[in-house]
Every structure is written in C-alpha cells, then in structure tokens.
Structure 1
C-alpha cells in the first residue's frame, strides 16, 4: 500500500504537498481531515491499515493515471476531478470494486468509457461531467443499481438515452446535458420516484412525452429543454409540492398550462417557444415567482406590435451602464437585474433571460465584470461588463424599419483565465448564437477565438428584418465546463450589441428571405435553441419617466 502510494506521489510530483516519510495512516494526520487536499484517509479497524479515501482535486496533475493506483483496492472514495488528466479512462478502474464515490470530471480524457465501470456495483456517486469521454454509454453500467448521483453532461455520448437508467431506483440526481444522445426519454424513468434533480437536454431524433413524470413528486428541479417533448403537461405536476424550477422551453408541448401548476415553492417556470395556448395559471402573480411564456399563445403573449416603425438601429451595452464609444455610438444602459425567468424592455429593444446557475456559492450572478484592462481595443470600458445567462439569453430589436441590417456582436471572456499550466485555465465557455432564427455560430468559444481571455472580439453578420423585430439569441447547449475557475461559470456571455441598417437597403427583406450571412469575424488583436428565451410571466407595462424605459413588472427587475 505504501509503495503504491509513493509511486503515485512521485508520478504526479506531489511530494511537496503530501510527504509520506511517516506512516500515511498515522492517527490525526493533517492529510486525513475532511478538508485536506490532497487527502489520504485510512481504515485501521483490523490488524492491517487500508487506504479508503484518496482525493487529488484541482492540483494540476498531468498525464495518464498510473496503474499503481489500482492496487488500492480498499478505496471507497476516489476523486481526481478538475485536473489535466489525459489518455483513456483505464479499464483497471473496475478493480476498485468497493468504491462508493468516484469523480473524474473536468479532465481531458479521450475515448469511450470502459465497460469495466460496470463492476463497481456498490457505487453511489459518479461524477464524469466534462471529462472528455465519447461514444456510446456502455450497457454494462446497468449494473450500477446503487447509484444516487450521476453527473455526465458535456461529454459527446452517442446512441439512445439508455433505458437502463430507469432501473436505478435509488437515483436522486441525474444530469445529462450537452451530449449527442437521442431520444426518446424512456417511459421507465417513471420508476425513479426518489429523483430530486433531473436535467436532460438536447435530445435528437425521436419525440418524448411527459407521461413518465406522474409519480416523480420528489423533484425540486426539472429541466427538459430542447428534448423534442410533445403532448400536454400532466395535471399531476400541480401536486409536486417540492418543485422549485421547471424548464420545458423549446419543445413541442401543446394544450394549456395546468391551472394549479404554480405551487407555493415554485420559483421559476419556463414554457417558452411551445405551441401552447390558454390562460395564465392561478397564482401567476405571486411574489417570488417568475414565468416565461414568450413564443406561446398563452394569453396572446408576445412582443407587442406598437405599429410605430421608426428605428433603423439600436446599440446595447450588455450588462452595463450606457456609454458612448470613441466612434460616437451611443450604447444603451442594460444593467437591469434579471433572474431565473425574466424580461426587460426599453424603448427600442428588449432582453430576456432564463435558467438558474447550478451551485453558485455567491448566489445568482447574471452580470460579469472585471477591473482588468481589455487588450487589443480602444474601447476597453465597453468590455469590462457583460450580460450572462445560465441557459438562454435573447435580445430583440423593436420597431425596426424592414430591410437589411449589419449586426455587430462584441465579446471578451472576463470570467475565465488563460493559465494553461493550472486547472484554473481549463475552463471552456461554449454556446451557440442565432440571428433571426438561423444559427450563425456553433460551439462558440470566446477565449479560443480571441486568443485568450480579456481580449476583445467582434463578430459581424448581415441579416434581414421583415416584421419590424430582430431576434438575437445566445444559447447554452449544455457544452463546456460548469465550474472552472468558480462554480456556475458557464453559459452565454456578450459584452455589447450594435445593429444598424445598411444604407439604401430599406425593404430588402422582401426580396431576400431570412438569410443571415456572416460578413466578417474580426478579432481585435487576433485573427482569431435549442434553449429557451427568457421572459416574464406577464406583460405589465409601466412607464419609467426618469430612464425613458418601459418595464415589465416581475418580482425581479430592479437597479
């Protein structure tokens, strides 16, 4: 045991952090506490001591997992999360048959999951999100019937969403977003009655229904965005007393909302962009609750047609206060506080955001900011704040003259770091961008395209307006890391938007149908929705005389 541990320490050069010149199983050792990292904990209940806990978390270890590690066959808790490990996940991991918790997420492994993982039949927690693995999920994982937690998002898994997940009767937390898996959602998911969190997204091929939800009354979070879900929302969902977040946007749901869907604990409900109709549910105006029904026919909800077509441009300082650029462009204030299902409207444009950040220790943060100088631009202040969203962020230009427009999108990654020698530099913010419903950027990574963080980047496109409204959608498809350098660091980010009509191109939209063309991708200093729209539950317009804005009243918007 000691020999194997010493080889592991040498392999990853951990000698300065974990010295074993004395007995590694010494009582009250500093490396054995719950907060120690690296951590080594032993069980010496019998005549022989065994290492049962090994944590090497976020310590910048590199390369492949040494084979000596698999000699520690008494391990019950093993964590290698948030490092820079590469190569395949070794099949020898199946030798650690006593494991209760296994974590190797946020690494750079390659290839498929080994089928030998199915030998870990006592496993209760498995964290492999953003680990780099690909391919089909092995059928052998059906043996993991003791699983309570499975995080597997942001891996390029292929094939069907496994039906065997529905036999994991102890499962409480299941997350599978940002994969290449196909539907439908298996009906036997209805047996997962202990589920507290269910997050599945971006399923292709076949339609799914919500029939499996009937008995899942323990849910607190349910997110099934862009899963080709059709049919009606079950009436029983109004009996889910623990439900706090319900995200069903960008599907094909029909019918009306259950009248009792707004339960006392429900914080946010999103059904945007579904062909639903009917009335708003009971208690929709309850304090502390917000709801997104944009893109449906519920109470005729939608962006108002004011029939006063006067604008040929709009500019927004996303997430910040208004300012005028060196070239004279006046960017409007966009510092309103948005939340889990929010909508805000100014005189010329509107913004909506939806989703909740997972495990953000600092609370929900929908605006990013930095005091650092932004390089390769004369407009550094324009990039020091940015609007964030955990799921879907959509800006609308309103009352626009029909015709051809230039759309400039300004970006700078101000929340992630460049240090490739540290785990803090392994974060990846990945999202898609749509203009007028057409995807113009897929798997967009600001930091990668700009050549680093805190570097300005402009993407420029051409599009047509034919109905007086422009729709710019920034959408997180579940890809990228979630928690580097801090928990909740993911989702779309944009610094500013500048839209102007092409001179002499009025009404060109009548000649060229909804065609978006990328003209230029300019990196300043470098050559470099599926998700839901965020809105509110009800359009209650109040004139803000001081700011010249019109505000949609919810429990959230405030300065």
Structure 2
C-alpha cells in the first residue's frame, strides 16, 4: 500500500507539471511588428499578467488534487480492512444471554482491564474474533489478550474461554467469573491475584483447561475442584496456598497435566490419585508434602514427567515405578527414599532426565542394568534432535559402579554425571577431581593458608578499603565440571544443567545496576549460579576455627511493576563442612523483598583436615520460570574465609597472669628435682651392694663363660641398649647362641625391675620368642614399649592371614620356615603373590601385593619406620599410596641372626652406645640359650 500511494503521488505531481507547461504554451499571435508594434507591447504586458495569474491558479488546483488522492486512498484502506475482517470472522449465529454479558463486563471492569482491539463488548460480544475457533487463549500472544471466546449453536451463544494473561492485575478474582458456567478455558496466569480460590469454582463443570500459575493465591485449595471432571490440564504452580491437596482431585479421571510445583501445599499425597490413569505430567516439587509416595502410583503407567521433592517422613521405595515405562523425566529429590534402584531401570528407554539426589539409596552397586540408559544405540536417535541424558544421584550411599557410565560420557551421550563426594565412591577418579572428594582433599597434612577470598562469577576485585583481594572466578563451568584455582587455594564444582536457559558460563551479570546496603557494590555486579549444586573448597588450610562470610544479592529476580515478575523465589540450602546451616535460604526474602540489595551471612566452621567445603544446594523449592525460564538454583556473589583470631591477641595482663605462676612453679620443680637426684644417688650406692645378694637360678653361667661367648663383650656383638644396659650376642662352647644383657650401674632401674624384666622375657615363648615375632624388637630386646609395638604385631598377623600359615613352621623347607624371612625374600624378587594361601582360588592380585607391602612396613625394625595404625588402614583401603619398603623387617634371624637386626637400634641408641659401650662401672649380665629350657635368670657382677 505504501508503494501504491507513492506511485499515485508521483503521477499527480507529473500531471501538475504538464498543466504548468500548457499554460506557458499560450504565446502571442504573429502580427506585423511594424503595424501593430504598440499593440504587441501592450499585449505582452497583458500576457505576462495572465501567465502569473494562471500559474497561481494551477498551483492551487494541483495541491487540492494531491490531497484528494490521499483522502481517497485512506478510504480505500478502511474498506480493505473491513473486508479482511469480514473474511476472517463469521457472522453471529446466535444471541449471548444477558447474564453472561453482564458477568463478563463486570469481571473485566473489576480487574481494570479492557479487551484487545479485536474484541468488542456490546450487547452482543460473540461476534468477530470471539467466535473464531483458530484463536488461542494459551500463554503468550499479545494480539488476543485480554480476550474471550464464544461457542454458538445457531440460536444461543455462550462464553467458553477467557484470558487475562500477564497483565499485572491485582486483587481477588471477581465472583462474576464463577457464573460463567460454560467456560472450558481459563487463563489468568502471571498476574498478582490474591486471596483464596472460591468454592464456587465447582460451578465450572465444563472446564478443560485452567491455568492460575504465577499468582499469589492463598488459603486451601477448594475440594469443589473435584467437580471439574472434564479437566485435562490444571495448573496452580507458584502460589501461596496452604493445607493439603484435596482428595477429591482423584475424581478428575480425564486429567492429563497437573502442575502444583511451588504452590505451597502440604500434607500427604492422596491415595485417590491412583485413579488418574490418564496422567502424563505430575509436578509436586518445591512444596512441603509428606511421604511416603503412595504405592498405588504404580497405576499411573501413562506418566511421562514425574517431579516430587522435599517429602517429610518419606520412607518410600521405588517399587511404584515398575510399570512407568513411558517416563521421560523423573525427579525424586530429597524424599528420604531408601532401598535400591529398580533392576529394570534399563528398560526405561525414553528417560532423559533422572534426579535421585539427597535420598538414602544403598546397595553394593548401581545395578548393571543401569548401563542400558547409556548404551542406547545412536541409530535410534532422531537426526534432527539431539537427545541429552542428565543424571544426578549425589548425596546417597551408593558404592558406585561407573565404568559403563564413564565410557558413555566420553562418547557424549551423557550430558552430566555427578560422582560428587556425598556418594561412597571407590576406584580411580579423573585427575584433579580426586582432590575434591571428601576423603581425598588436596593439601591435607600440608597446610599453607589461613584464608581465601573469591569473587564468584567475576574478575579479580579489591574491596573498597583494599584489605581483601577477591580472586577471580569467571571460568566457564558446565553441567558437571570443576575448576581449581591457579593458586591452589580454592576450587569450585558445579552439578546440574539449565534445561530451559542457555547459560554457558553459569554466571549472571547486572553491572549496570546499583546495589544497596554495601560499600563494595562491585562485588555484586556478577554472581556464580547453578541449577542444582554449587560447591566451593578451601584447600591447604591450617587447622583451626574459621569465619566463613558469604555475600549474596538477587540480581535476576527483579522488582517488577507488573507484579508477577516479582513473584520469583530462589530457594536453596547452605551447608558448611557437610552440616546444613541454612535451610530454604531466600536471598530476596533476606533483603526484605528487595532486589539489588547486599545480603551478608557469617558462619563459624572448624577445619580439622586442612580443607573447607561450602555447599549451596537446590533441593527443589522456589520457582523455575520467573522472570524467565531457568531462573532458579543457588547464586552467590562473593566468599571470604578467614581464620578466627581468638587466642592470637592476648593482653599483657593475661600474659603476666600466666607466666608468673608458671615461673614460680618451675623454680620449685627445679629444687625438687635436685633433691630427688641427690637422694637417688644415695639409694643407688645401697643397691649396688644389694645386687650381690640376688638369689641365683638354675642354668647359671660364670662371668668368664659369658665373657668368652661375647668375645669380651666386643662392640661388634652388641645388639642394642635398653634401660638396664646393653645387650650382646654370644655363642657358648657347645654352639648355643645366647643373648647377654648387662646391667649397668649407670642405669636408674632398680633390682626388682631388672629381675621382673628378665623373668618376663625368659617366660615368653622361650627360644621361639624372636622367631614367633609377635613382640616388637624394641620391647623384646630393650624393654621399651612404644606406641608402634602393636603395629609390629599387626604386620605379623596380616602376613599370617594372607599365607594361611603360622609365623614359624619347622615342617617347611629352610627358606620358608620363618614367615617374615620368606615374605621378605618374595618381596625382593617381586613375587609376593606366591605367599598367598593355596586354598584361595580367587583373589585380587593388586590388593594382595598392597597388603603384603603394608605388613612389611609394619614389621620394620625401627618404630619410626613403621606407619601409624590409622595410616596403615588408609594404605589398605587405597586411600593413600603404600610407601616403598626399603629395609628388611625386624627379627629376620633364622638361627638367631642378630646381626640382621642391629639397624633398628642405630637411631635411638646412638647416645647410649657412646656412654656404655666401654663402661667400667659394675654391671650384671643375663643370657637366654637357643633351645627350649625352663625360665632362667642369672646375674653376674663384673669386678
């Protein structure tokens, strides 16, 4: 039309030019100049005046012509519009009852809205667009909103549809609505309507589609909803209802879609819902419902989308899923469900999203049938649609079977798989992720830091007073990814995929807004967001008490003048060190219902294993689609963690109050010690005389015999030194090998202690004491009982368990007779597996080698070389690597080869060797022969 109008205007202007040219063509006639010169001059003056007058007239005529053309075209345009309207609508085929017309007028008037231009509410509203069946009253589309629909039968018309969508209307629903009993469609979503839903809703018995989503309705849902037996879709999501779900909803047997997510309902799920066998979509998540999930849900075989979360007193199982083979989306988060995943889960070939997090699933492994979810052949997939599979099963108690999952994840079939630290996972983990498991934190036993700060979702930022530098956190995350900072001070991991929103970096940005209630607004211009689970870790922290400061601001759910856009709720839980410190945390609520206002939360945390975990977890509450799809889940702007300064700054008075009494007590202790030392010296002089009176025992030896057996107590034969004196290896004339212990006068032990030790050692296993090897060398040889003595015994027992034989077996070949000797020999030849009991038909070779190496470490001669029991257990569980076994264990002495064990004395007896190797003081000596004898004791005083 624009081009036609321009063309006509162009033709008009061309015609006007022709008229002008014709006026200039009226010239003077040819006459004889000589005869009529005067007349010509007069005529030329006249013609010039005429030309001027004609030009003025034609100019005015041309202008009028243009305006007439424009007016004509406008009239023609109106005619075309009217003709188009007549072509898209049919004439009225009946009359609308006045009661319905009045109700419609009153309803719209009380809400303060008018129908769009396509509709007219007159004495007869059911004309034009109102009776056009192609008009939709669903969500979206501003051209027919507000709008209504009618249905006519040739005589009477009735209003059957009504739409006031996202118009920001407020207040309660006018009662006139409930008198429109012929309504089949009602769409009042995304407004700010309040108050209860009237029981008169039961009058709308022909209703098929009712959408009251995203409002602020309150009170209990009326049981009269059960009268709407023609309903196909019922949507009450994101409201403030209270009370239980009416059991009468079980009468809606034609119902296919039921949306109750984040609606505020509570109480148990009615068992009557088992009758809703046409149900395809059922969403109950984000409420305060009570469990268990009715077992009769197994009747709902047509379900394609089931979402339930936050069931209190759950106690359910997944048995009800057995016939739901049409499921595409299954979300059962935080429902206290126990037991195992059904073995037929692999038969659910349409399943694309599976969320089973925060339950109590157990079992030795996820069933092998589970792998079928990842092993769908690619030829089954649509060539135009990429199927995505998202599985989140974190915070359960699985022993995860993961090989097939990891294989398919590499093929790109699995979009997000979370093996996070809430599950009891075993096996080799990807590089880096192992550091983020609860049992394997980076920096353990290597503390470096006592603080860290992160600018979540943004670049490095300094605080206003420059006291804190927040490290950058603007790396791109994905559905199941992690990032370790270059400083190794902290890390972040995300789990979850934004279904409805493309946010590749998992951040939000609103740098153009002003953030209130803070002196550092730049901290809140960006935020790190996650649809499900967001964790931050502090690594390599010094153990102690810390203050954890979390800073938030709602920069996505805004304060909207339309009302409904302000109804969005971001609700998540906060965990510190695995403990939930805030449940149902709502940033905007904490900011008194205001967006772009800083919220700061401080928590105390204890670091005991050199790492800190901050976990923000979406448990299913809040809203998913306000103001846009995908607006939900945790969001955080900044983190600052500092060590508690308590105890660092002590007042001078407190210092004096501590150290003055300590000084006085110390002086008294020195005086007392001096007194006891002098008294002890006097007592020793008396005891030296008493030693000569010790009663002799059988199998005594003369000092000369012992001196000859030990080559005059040659230092080369010295095995070590204990509290009573040195111990020497000796060989008697008959070939018996003995151990000779010399009692030194310098020893502070008394006669009774010496006698008790000799009697104890003589009575314990006699000649097999060393070969049985259960007593640690330091105790057997020196009487020193250390905290590593039990570790030695554990190592011997571990080898016995592996080999299925005792520590000493004289019936075996010489090289196999002593277990420690044989185990060391096999280890040196990298043939540890030969030690395994022949009765074991199946075993894990790597685990056997690990156990033998741990046992050899536990039986090291030196207590310092043995691991602690906790470390030994960690090595057996493969939590840490097994250290290299570089020295042979103690007591490797077939035939009493004591020279093989001297190394264990070298560290802790170096000083005493110097003092006592050539002691000239009086000493006593005892010996144990290398054969079965009665307990014996003999002491000889060297002159």
Task: Report Cα offsets for 1:190-243 as digits up to 9, x if no partner.
Answer: 222222211111111131111222222222211111111111112211222221
Residues 1:336 and 1:191: Cα distance change in structure 2 (over 3 Å): farther
Question: 2:110 aligns to what?
Answer: 11
Question: 2:57 aligns to what?
Answer: none
Residues 1:224 and 1:454: Cα distance change in structure 2 (over 3 Å): same
Corresponding residue SS for 2:289: coil
Select 1:459's aligned residue among 582, 585, 601.
Answer: 601
Question: 2:543 aligns to what?
Answer: 402
How far, CA to CA, are the matches of 1:358 and 1:75 in structure 2?
A: 34
How far, CA to CA, are the matches of 1:122 and 1:390 in structure 2?
A: 36
Matches within 5 A, 1:342-421: 342-346=481-485, 347-357=488-498, 359-360=500-501, 362=502, 366-370=506-510, 371-419=512-560
Question: 2:423 aligns to what?
Answer: 296
The Cα shift of 1:351 comes to: 2.3
Residues 1:356 and 1:278: Cα distance change in structure 2 (over 3 Å): closer
Residues 1:88 and 1:201: Cα distance change in structure 2 (over 3 Å): same
Residues 1:272 and 1:381: Cα distance change in structure 2 (over 3 Å): same
Question: 2:120 aligns to what?
Answer: 20
Question: 1:33 aligns to what?
Answer: 135
Which stretch has the larger CA shift, 312-321 or 195-204?
Answer: 312-321
Corresponding residue SS for 2:240: coil
How far, CA to CA, are the matches of 1:210 and 1:42 in structure 2?
A: 46
The Cα shift of 1:135 comes to: 0.6
Matches within 5 A, 1:196-235: 196-235=304-343
Residues 1:181 and 1:343: Cα distance change in structure 2 (over 3 Å): same
How far, CA to CA, are the matches of 2:535 and 2:300 in structure 1?
A: 34
Select 1:341's aligned residue among 471, 480, 486.
Answer: 480
2:410 is equivalent to residue 270 of structure 1: no
Corresponding residue SS for 1:165: helix
Residues 1:188 and 1:109: Cα distance change in structure 2 (over 3 Å): same
Question: 2:633 aligns to what?
Answer: 491
How far, CA to CA, are the matches of 1:474 and 1:58 in structure 2?
A: 32
Question: 2:878 aligns to what?
Answer: none
Task: Report Cα offsets for 1:392-438 as digits up to 9, x if no partner.
Answer: 32222222221111111111111122236632223222223222233
Residues 1:444 and 1:75: Cα distance change in structure 2 (over 3 Å): same
The alignment's C-alpha RMSD in Å is: 2.4
Matches within 5 A, 1:416-455: 416-419=557-560, 422-451=563-592, 452-455=594-597
Select 1:330's aligned residue among 459, 469, 473.
Answer: 469
Contact 2:575 2:614 in 1 (8 A): yes
Contact 2:355 2:391 in 1 (8 A): yes
Contact 2:190 2:213 in 1 (8 A): yes
Matches within 5 A, 1:139-288: 139-255=247-363, 256-259=365-368, 260=371, 261-264=373-376, 265=387, 267-282=389-404, 283-288=408-413
Which stretch has the larger CA shift, 378-387 or 126-135?
Answer: 378-387
Contact 1:248 1:270 in 2 (8 A): yes
Question: 1:44 aligns to what?
Answer: 152
Question: 1:58 aligns to what?
Answer: 166
The Cα shift of 1:89 comes to: 0.8
Task: Report Cα offsets for 1:312-362 as digits up to 9, x if no partner.
Answer: 1121211222333332422222223333333333322232333344544x5
Contact 1:112 1:135 in 2 (8 A): yes
- Where is the helix percentage greater, Structure 1 or Structure 2? 2
How far, CA to CA, are the matches of 1:505 and 1:238 in structure 2?
A: 58
- Count of residue pairs the alignment pairs up: 505
How far, CA to CA, are the matches of 2:269 and 2:453 in structure 1?
A: 42
The Cα shift of 1:497 comes to: 0.8
The Cα shift of 1:450 comes to: 2.4
How far, CA to CA, are the matches of 2:240 and 2:289 in structure 1?
A: 15
Question: 1:543 aligns to what?
Answer: none
Moved runs in structure 1, 4+ residues, more than 6 A?
none
Corresponding residue SS for 1:69: helix
Which stretch has the larger CA shift, 350-359 or 423-432?
Answer: 350-359
Question: 1:305 aligns to what?
Answer: 441
Contact 2:251 2:275 in 1 (8 A): no
Task: Report Cα offsets for 1:15-64 as digits up to 9, x if no partner.
Answer: 37576344432223699833322121222244222222211111111111
Residues 1:484 and 1:279: Cα distance change in structure 2 (over 3 Å): closer
Contact 1:238 1:258 in 2 (8 A): no
Task: Report Cα offsets for 1:525-547 as digits up to 9, x if no partner.
Answer: xxxxxxxxxxxxxxxxxxxxxxx
TM-score, with normalisation over the residues of structure 1? 0.85
Query: Which structure 1 residue ranges, 5 or more long, are not aligned?
Result: 507-559
Residues 1:281 and 1:37: Cα distance change in structure 2 (over 3 Å): farther
Query: Which structure 2 residue ranges, 5 or more long, are not aligned?
Result: 1-99, 377-386, 430-436, 649-943
Task: Report Cα offsets for 1:109-137 as digits up to 9, x if no partner.
Answer: 22111000000111111111122111111
The Cα shift of 1:449 comes to: 2.5
Corresponding residue SS for 1:8: helix
How far, CA to CA, are the matches of 1:502 and 1:72 in structure 2?
A: 67
The Cα shift of 1:379 comes to: 2.2
Select 1:127's aligned residue among 235, 246, 260.
Answer: 235
Residues 1:363 and 1:73: Cα distance change in structure 2 (over 3 Å): farther
Matches within 5 A, 1:308-323: 308-323=446-461
Corresponding residue SS for 1:375: coil
Contact 2:242 2:264 in 1 (8 A): yes
Question: 2:910 aligns to what?
Answer: none
Residues 1:245 and 1:339: Cα distance change in structure 2 (over 3 Å): farther
The Cα shift of 1:68 comes to: 0.9
Contact 2:259 2:282 in 1 (8 A): yes
How far, CA to CA, are the matches of 1:491 and 1:85 in structure 2?
A: 25
Larger radius of gyration: 2
Contact 2:131 2:150 in 1 (8 A): no
Corresponding residue SS for 2:321: helix
- Where is the strand percentage greater, Structure 1 or Structure 2? 1
Contact 1:273 1:293 in 2 (8 A): no
Question: 2:380 aligns to what?
Answer: none
Question: 1:525 aligns to what?
Answer: none
2:478 is equivalent to residue 478 of structure 1: no
How far, CA to CA, are the matches of 1:90 and 1:25 in structure 2?
A: 27
The Cα shift of 1:504 comes to: 5.3
How far, CA to CA, are the matches of 1:279 and 1:476 in structure 2?
A: 25
